[in-house]
A and B are shown apart, each in its own frame.
Chain A
Amino acid sequence: MAGLRVSGPRSWDLVRKLAPFLPQELKSHQAYVGFIKNLEQNENLDQVIVLPFLEGHSFTGEESAEIFCHGSPILVDRIMTELIAAGASVAEKGEFTLRSFLNGKVDLVQAESVLELIHSESDFSARQALNQLRGKLSRKIERLESDLIWCLAHIEAGIDFSEADIAVAEEAVLKAKLKSIEDQIQEVADSFAGGRVVKEGLRIVISGQPNVGKSSLLNALAEEEKAIVSSRPGTTRDPVEVRCLVGGISAAVVDTAGLRETSDEIEAQGIAKSQKARASADINVFVVDAALLLGGPDGSLRLNSEDLELLAQSQNAPVLLVLNKIDLRPDLALLSEAQVLEKVKKNMSISEDRLIRVLCISALDTTSGTKFRGALEKFLQRFDLQGDGVLTNSRHHEQIMGALLSLREALKMLAGNQGLEFVSIELKQSLMALQNLLGKRFDDDVLDRVFKEFCLGK
């Protein structure tokens, strides 16, 4: 199935030109089934369903009609062509949403969510965009907005009605409340890291010594031959990127050039690029040749010095240590991965929270791709990906950071016993940022709350 939407004044008349089966009097939200014809009316194009929407009751807020036809791209193209011939023009990307926003059918956050929905690449971000659309983020921020207005109402009432017989919140109460708002805004802001991952995808960088099987691992994951695999060290000169889905999240898995000293200039450039790729990694998949692992006297395992050095150089991203060619080490095959992790860790000066998992694998094994994917999915639990009001948009992030900074400034002022008329400026600034985020106008909300909350007057 494919859907086409015609929106704007006289949409119904326009569609009727191609759908003569439609009655003169159309009902909104009612499905009509019939054959769509070309303009000359001499050829049936497809049997379709037409859904008309009355002005004010459609997604865009305009009179509109949706046509559902069979899903062949060629068919869709022909119907589009006929619609254009009948007077329609092709919508710009996101134009329906823009109209919907301009007609007040969706708010700014919702509109941006729809745009993200259109652009999202994977299920997970589609779900997340849907969450925002339903206003999960909006509701969360509206709650914070309301709390902030409460604080401002108490501050302003204390200033403008200091003579009135009213109990405004004491500074300690205000401080506690503001602190809690700060924490919650911080939480929303923190979700941005996870949110970015969802929207732009995860960056997984595979690194390690030459010829340890990095490309084989990537291929296993992508289940297609993206990188040239050969047994000559240094085959991968440029980072090779494969986009795939990991646990419903779109990921860019980057295979980097083997890390080694080289005199080959082209290869050296490749290595420089690879270093850059590693710097932006969310996950560093560090591959070593299991056959080259050294045994310690206490039964521990030790990476060779070159590996250790390389690992130390790479950036702060958490590390998934892959022991490839495990088939060459039957002694390790008997151990659980947790046991291997213990044994490896002993001889490494890597911080606890960076080395998260070990994966023992044979990249040439047919199950290696599945195993690798499984390890990565477990890795993702590091990120807040619950989709619960996660910030995904940089405009949102900017506003939320603005709200946070002003709020912190206000708290600092309160701590320094500075006047509430100054604190109020920062809080209003913070409130304005939240309201911008919601696409709301900064208005008399504070005074309205003052009148609601307090008994004033002569």
Chain B
Amino acid sequence: MTCSSAQVLIEAYLDGELGPGQSAEVREHLENCASCTEVYRRLKQLQTDIRAQAPYYQAPDHLRERVRAALHNASERDAVRTRALPWNWMAIAASILLVLSLAWSLALLRSRSSTRDLVAQAILSSHVRSLIGTHLLDVPSSDQHTVKPWFNGKLDFSPNVKDFAAQGFRLLGGRIEYVENRPIAALVYQRRQHVINLFTWPTSSADESGKLELNRNGYHLLHWTKGGMTYWAVSDLNEGELEQFARLYNQ
């Protein structure tokens, strides 16, 4: 690969947009070319600086409330509009049929889903709820020696709590969660502006072991079992970095 070809691709390479073949070619060129490496280094530095220095603005609480209220009003108005047309009985009948058939399909789907899919769905709901509510942490602390003992007496197991602040995954704390009516530990980590929830509980005979990767609604889920414990990591963080987190945890 020539320098001019490499330089055309270098930003796409930095942004992870190249396929494995082209990535390998660019990487190989960089290993052997000081000037292109310098170009790459400057771009990477700019990217790092932007992510460190440009704020990712958080929506203020009053905006969150405003939007919630506005949505509820809109939903009410929709409901009123429907109720205001009682003569539209065909539409109502059609809606009832639709809801019934959806419910039936859902029941059918649920009976076919594996336990693991149900757990994945419950885990995802827990994750999303923890982000939109005010209840992310029962024990807010970045000290694993504070978080781990906090679970004593609240759970019938002691979760493995680790901190990877040095590698860019900061422990924020923990909370008790309920999945399938069982109390479990949720350990919360932060990577830049992304929250990672790591759910863990002792593996039971009903749990399916083995690794799993899922994408649902823009969130990534990783599942594995190790040392008699089940783990689910959920985040909107990209898969590559979430896998990095999982690997760190498993060391």
A and B physically associate: no
